[in-house]
A and B are shown apart, each in its own frame.
Chain A
Amino acid sequence: MSAPGAQGESQAGPPATTVSRRRAVVRLLRLGAIVTAVVLVVVVGVTLLVRTGPPSKDDLMRQAGLVGKSQLLVGVLDDEPGISVRDPQTGQYSGFDIDMTYLVASDLGFDRASVRFLPIQSKDRARMQAQDGDQFVTVDLVAASYSITADRAAQPGVAFSASYLSTAQSVMTRRGHAPVQAWSDLQGERVCTITTSTSLLSAQQNVVKVYRNKVSECVDDLLAGKIDAVTTDAAILAGFVHAHPGELMLNALGVDFDEQWGMNVGDNTALRTLVDLSLYHSRYDSTDRRWEEAFDRDLRPEQHDSLPQEVANDRQPPVAKVRVREWPWQK
């Protein structure tokens, strides 16, 4: 007995053997197609059940231990005008690092009142130990003009977020000092930097090196005439020049903008993803102007006094795509 479908196919003209052979091949192909479809459905179905894709923002918040946390503790410097400075009268912090912290914190669901800034020493940024009264506490995040380098990233407990500012190294001298265009122009002079700085000073042989724990200590010495120059990132020095425009000046060393500042999140990789996600949205969402507004408020006014040195790149550094599950309209 033949199937009804077969009767429908047998009305063509070619010889019966050719027709039946062709029909057999077509039927085999159909069998293959159906088996393929079934295998596809089963394999994809199982994969969908097992694989859930990248984590969502809520998953990351839970993994980062931020759910139920009443305050976000952030370690910042307290002596760098324009970057991160504490007003001794009000106790309020202001500057570009502070604005970047608020940017990230607001994306993490912390309003300004829930962000607690604690002063941190440059040497403690890797260990994330900040001072709270007479105690040292471990902070959740360090945003303290911390340049991303391979050596620092390799230290235990250090994990950098994506970069949020790109700047260059520079040299600050008193006004009246001959312009410094290369290290050789400082031969025999006393040059100060901070102990844990990435400054190129350490590689120089013909200068007298002076190390301090804080940049502001170097600047005090410079203003007092105890030293001849201070070297560190231009974005840090520009704030001091802006505060003392008649006394200090910046010199362009002609080096690349290779100082990329990042936030240290320690061992908390989920927090790092969240910080990167926040910076990614800030970089690529054209309606998000928070970074640009922070730059215009904190760093752009310093540019005039800092010439010929450029304070920092006025565009947020690129951020790699972050794999997080989001609604299409959140991207």
Chain B
Amino acid sequence: MAEVGRGATSTPPAAPPTRDRQWLLTVLPASPLLLLLLRLWYLSRQNLQTMLLLVQDVSPLGLISTLLITLVWILPLVTLVGRTLGELLRASAAREDVDSLRLVRAGLRIPTWVVALSVVLAALTWQLRFLPLLLMMTLAVLGLGVRNTRRNPLLVQAVCVALPLAAAILAYLWLGPAILSSVRQGQAGTALLLILPPALAVLSTGPVPRRAARPLTSSIAMVAVLLTPFLVGASFLKAPILPTIAVEIDANPGDSTPPEVWIGYVISVNDRMTTLLDQQGTVRFVLNDQVMSETVCPDDGRLPTVPVTVHGWQVEQPMLSWIAPARRQATIDPRCQGRPLRQP
């Protein structure tokens, strides 16, 4: 980074008291583990015995995969917010201000290739309605970076003024129909997410008043640090970690009584018993001979809530879901509605 040796004056600021922060390195790998345990505790409806059963049987690899898939969008968010704040403070305030804010300074230490990778990851994993925000942050990082390191005024003008203007015009041309559609349908949140960021991007590529820079960046960093655990927790607790299965159970396979249909999660199957956990947290053990059939039920947790699309792309779908082929389930399996496959 070019900050080393630049801006240093005759009176160096008093070195802040160094504190031992090595414990943070221990906490970091422990937090996903804590999150996974919290998820199992939530799934077991806060029953310790059920939770122990889950810990014993649920595959850790499956859990970590779910954690990664659910939270992959948060990593670029943290990187980009950190870097944007760092560049903003560096462009707006004095060196000692930058040095005094560890959290913001850490953002400047993120390697450029990590930032570039984050932008790509975010473009793939963020919902379409957040892509204008990604555009704004990317342009801000780029513009502020150029302003902070290059002195060529023509380049600064091109990256900080011409590029955001061109990007905003292109974005509005592409998003126009979706903006109109969301306004017409009264979807204020979606409309604002599509309208504001491209326009604000034009203003986000330069320094802010020097006196405001430090309080602004530190307060945003603080809010982000406080909100991120809640965001992570809320999105992970809602994510499914086991597939929802409908099982037809016939306690007396010989007679004519219809089988009972049970909906929940299959925890484990051994050569004699199938262990089931229903959606109310009740554990049930069933003899394998009594299990007539099983089916996976669709998960409607990710159904879109906003009926707005951009050229056929639903605004709540990330690019990955949009380009990947989706299975379109047309008929409802009666077992997922609690009815046996065949009526007597």
Contact = CB atoms under 8 A, between A and B. Distances in A.
Contacts of A5: 91-92, 144, 147-148, 206-207
Contacts of B193: 40, 44
Contacts of B192: 40, 44
10 nearest CB pairs, A to B: A53-B305, A68-B338, A33-B203, A109-B332, A325-B303, A5-B91, A31-B208, A33-B200, A109-B337, A56-B300
Given A3-B92, A34-B204, A44-B193, A327 B304 contact: yes
Interface of B: 6-7, 9, 88, 90-95, 133, 136, 144, 147-148, 151, 153, 156, 189, 192-193, 196-197, 200, 203-204, 206-210, 212, 216, 220, 223, 227, 231, 234, 258, 261, 263, 300, 303-307, 309, 312, 314, 328, 332, 334, 336-340, 343
Given A24-B209, A44-B192, A325-B300, A61 B231 contact: no
Contacts of A32: 203
B218 to A, nearest CB: 13
Question: Interface size class for chain A?
Answer: 35 or more
B206 A27 contact: yes
Interface in A107-151: 109-111, 113-114
Given A8-B147, A8-B156, A40-B196, A113 B343 contact: yes
A228 B91 CA distance: 96
Chain A contact surface mostly:
helix
A29 interface: yes
11 contacts: A3-B90, A5-B144, A37-B196, A53-B305, A57-B300, A109-B336, A109-B337, A111-B343, A113-B343, A325-B304, A327-B303
A21 to B, nearest CB: 13
A38 B200 contact: no
Given A6-B207, A27-B209, A35 B216 contact: yes
B204 to A, nearest CB: 6
A1 B133 contact: no
Interface of A: 1, 3-8, 11, 24, 26-38, 40-45, 47-49, 51-54, 56-59, 61, 66-70, 109-111, 113-114, 325-329, 331
B334 A114 contact: yes
Contact of A30 (B136, B204, B336): B204
A284 to B, nearest CB: 14
B300 A69 contact: no
B343 A34 contact: no
Contacts of B339: 68-70, 109-110, 114
Given A109-B332, A325-B300, A52 B305 contact: yes
A15 to B, nearest CB: 18
Nearest to A49: B234
Q: Which of B95, B204, B206, B312 has the most CB of A within 10 A?
A: B206
A54 B185 CA distance: 13
Contact of A31 (B212, B263, B337): B212
Given A27-B208, A40-B196, A53-B305, A61 B189 contact: no
A8 B151 contact: yes
Given A1-B95, A42-B223, A61-B337, A26 B206 contact: yes
B96 to A, nearest CB: 9
Contacts of B88: 34
A30 B205 CA distance: 8
B211 to A, nearest CB: 10
Contacts of B93: 3
Given A58-B300, A328-B314, A70 B206 contact: no
A329 to B, nearest CB: 5
B207 A30 contact: yes
B183 to A, nearest CB: 15
A59 B300 CA distance: 9
Contact of A4 (B147, B204, B336, B337): B147
A37 B340 CA distance: 52
Contacts of B216: 31, 34-35
Among A8, A36, A43, A67, which residue has the most Cβ atoms of chain B within 10 A?
A8
A326 B91 contact: no
B328 A29 contact: no
B91 A3 contact: yes
Given A27-B206, A56-B303, 18 more contacts: A1-B95, A4-B6, A4-B7, A4-B90, A5-B147, A8-B151, A11-B153, A26-B206, A27-B92, A30-B204, A33-B200, A40-B196, A59-B300, A70-B339, A109-B334, A325-B304, A328-B312, A328-B314
B310 to A, nearest CB: 12
A143 B6 CA distance: 82
B216 to A, nearest CB: 7
A229 to B, nearest CB: 45
A30 B206 contact: yes
A281 to B, nearest CB: 11
Contacts of B234: 49
A8 B153 contact: yes
A35 B209 CA distance: 13
B304 A111 contact: no
Contacts of B204: 30, 33-34, 37
Nearest to A321: B307
Contact of B207 (A3, A44, A48, A113): A3
A1 B208 contact: no
A11 to B, nearest CB: 6
Contacts of B153: 8, 11
A174 B65 CA distance: 76
Contact of A37 (B156, B200, B231, B334): B200
